[in-house]
Amino acid sequence: MARKLLLEHINVPGINTFDVYRQKGGYRAVEKALKTLTPDEVVEEVKKSGLRGRGGAGFPTGMKWSFLAKPEGVARYLVCNADESEPGTFKDRYLMTHIPHALIEGMIVSSFALGANTSYIYVRGEMMPQIRILEKAIAEAKNAGFLGKNILGTGYDLELYVQPGGGAYICGEETALLESLEGKRGNPRIKPPFPAIAGLYGCPTVVNNVESIAATVPIINDGGDEYAKIGIGRSTGTKLISASGNLVRPGVYEIDLGLPVEEFIYSDEYCGGIANGKRLKATVAGGSSVPILPANLTLKLANGEPRLMSYESLSDGGFATGSMMGSGGFIAFDEDQCIVRNTWNFSRFYHHESCGQCSPCREGTGWMEKVLHRIEYGHGKMSDIDLLVDVSKKIEGNTICPLGDAAAWPVASAIRHFRDEFEWHVKEPIKCLDTNYGLANYAQPIAKAEVTTGN
């Protein structure tokens, strides 16, 4: 059993309260950082740990921190991005619900490292219970002297605020988040300037994911080198994976990066295999934005080596035979699932969530959604499939923020790997309405197909 860093005490009753959390060794990192380390040393530890951003892009967190401009007399801000809205990702909500103090502790350490005296946690508007939990946790921490003026007598001041968002997916993009936090319409800004130079209210700002911030706690407790020992290659540490879909035990798992995908899906310690004894058809490895992969490419790389849960291995083979780590929203599809319907569903989401600022994404997401809707409901044409590929190419890379890419990739990859299914939908316009491709062709309707591999 791998060592848990973030979810170690998840099963302790009352871990969401300050007292229990403190008893279990919580807030040690704050004491250590504020009393024995300088801010630069904290940044150095995080750099040494090799921690990579857990929000999706996988940019090294320590590096991001060291890019922060430090002009004299200008405030700096740390903003925690808790606007978790990616379909298939729910790890941050889980963490905030059950161990809110891990995030608060991480916020204190990270704000100290960056020299921020005011920090914000931008929580998605739909997560009202989590907002209450965080506010309660902040009040508890403040009572205990871990927040506010002169924390632990070290002279460091920090105010922490929770800001509910309006529930827009686009506000998870860091510059849109900052716009929204400033009270404006959540449109992504045009970069450069990057938030590290001019972010919130024009001041240097760092925006980090909930999990990245929480991960600084074990890094400070054990040291960056110790953290870097976990994991494989440049993917260090542990990662929360939100497993969902047709799995025996979906849920949030903390894994060591470098775990084979096969083990993650089939071992009893994790997801326990595919539900109802079905076979795996496809996976979306990192939340809805990343390319979908068929089962064979999920478990093995193109060259036959086993695929691992790490930033490098999941993206091995580029977009032709690979995917991305993304935010760790692992969705498994069994052979009964319809890829066309799923692609349409994702595309509907991106159509709904596009901010409407730049043209390719605003118009293109709607177009793709309409074409996919037509195919799914049996009104498609063969030329529609190539049209979709073409439209997705015209969106990809031509937009202000990554939402355009995120909308284009699932469509392009679904057609790349499951073109036969799209063609079947066009050829069988009536049958596709009540049966899906898998059941019509190879899958057994009753659950008796054997599990391909199991260990």
Partner 1 sequence: MSDKVKVTIDGITVEVAPGTTILNAARQIGGDIVPPAMCYYSKLEGSGGKCRTCIVKVSKGSEKDPRPMPKLVASCRTTVMDGMEVQNITSPEVIEARSGVVEMLLINHPLDCPVCDQAGECDLQNLGYEHGLQKTRYEFERRTFERIDIGDKIQLHMNRCILCYRCVFTADQITNKRVHGILNRGDHSEISTYIQTAVDNDFSGNVIDVCPVGALTDKTFRFKNRVWFTKPIDAHRDCPTCSGKVTLWYKGEDVLRVTARKDIYGEVEEFICNTCRFDKKKTADWVIEHPTHISDTSVIASNHYETLKPLPVIQNNPQLQQANKVELEKTTKF
Q: Least Å distance between CB 175 and partner 1?
A: 12
Cβ distance to partner 1 smaller for residue 114 or 355: 355
Three-state DSSP state, 8? coil
Q: Least Å distance between CB 410 and partner 1?
A: 17
Q: Least Å distance between CB 359 and partner 1?
A: 5
Q: Least Å distance between CB 354 and partner 1?
A: 4
Nearest CA among 308, 299, 296, 187 for reference residue 239: 308
Cβ distance to partner 1 smaller for residue 26 or 172: 172
Cβ distance to partner 1 smaller for residue 91 or 425: 425
Cα Rg, the chain, nearest whole Å: 22
Beta-strand relationship, 238-245 and 77-82: unpaired
Q: Are 438 and 280 in contact (CB under 8 A)?
A: no
What residues contact residue 367 under an 8 Å CB cut-off, 6+ apart? Answer: 391
Q: Which two tokens stand for residue 253?
A: 């798992």
Q: Least Å distance between CB 389 and partner 1?
A: 12
Cβ distance to partner 1 smaller for residue 245 or 364: 364
Cβ distance to partner 1 smaller for residue 322 or 364: 364
Cβ distance to partner 1 smaller for residue 48 or 362: 362
Q: Least Å distance between CB 350 and partner 1?
A: 9
Q: Least Å distance between CB 73 and partner 1?
A: 24
Cβ distance to partner 1 smaller for residue 24 or 374: 374
What residues contact residue 304 under an 8 Å CB cut-off, 6+ apart? Answer: none
> Can you give the binding site for partner 1, defined by CB under 8 A?
168, 170, 185, 190, 351-360, 362-367, 370, 387, 393-395, 397-400
Report the distance separating Cα 350 and Cα 289, nearest Å: 9
CB burial of residue 81 (10 Å; 0-12, 13-18, 19+): buried
Across-strand partners of 82? 123
Q: Least Å distance between CB 408 and partner 1?
A: 11
Q: Least Å distance between CB 414 and partner 1?
A: 20
Across-strand partners of 241? 253
Strands of 292-294's sheet, edge to edge?
251-256, 238-245, 329-334, 280-284, 292-294
Q: Least Å distance between CB 173 and partner 1?
A: 13
Cβ distance to partner 1 smaller for residue 24 or 348: 348
Angle at 236 between CA 232 and CA 241, to 5 degrees: 95
Beta-strand relationship, 77-82 and 118-123: parallel
Cβ distance to partner 1 smaller for residue 62 or 186: 186
The backbone torsions φ and ψ at residue 239, rounded to the nearest 5 degrees and listed phi first, read -140, 140
Cβ distance to partner 1 smaller for residue 383 or 455: 383
Report the distance separating Cα 64 and Cα 385, nearest Å: 40
Q: Least Å distance between CB 412 and partner 1?
A: 14
**Cis ω before 218 (30° cut-off from 0):** no
Token look-up 């860093």 returns 5
Nearest CA among 71, 148, 69, 133 for reference residue 103: 133
Q: Which two tokens stand for residue 397?
A: 């890379």
Q: If you count them, how many residues does the chain have?
A: 455
Cβ distance to partner 1 smaller for residue 309 or 388: 388
Report the distance separating Cα 12 and Cα 451, nearest Å: 35
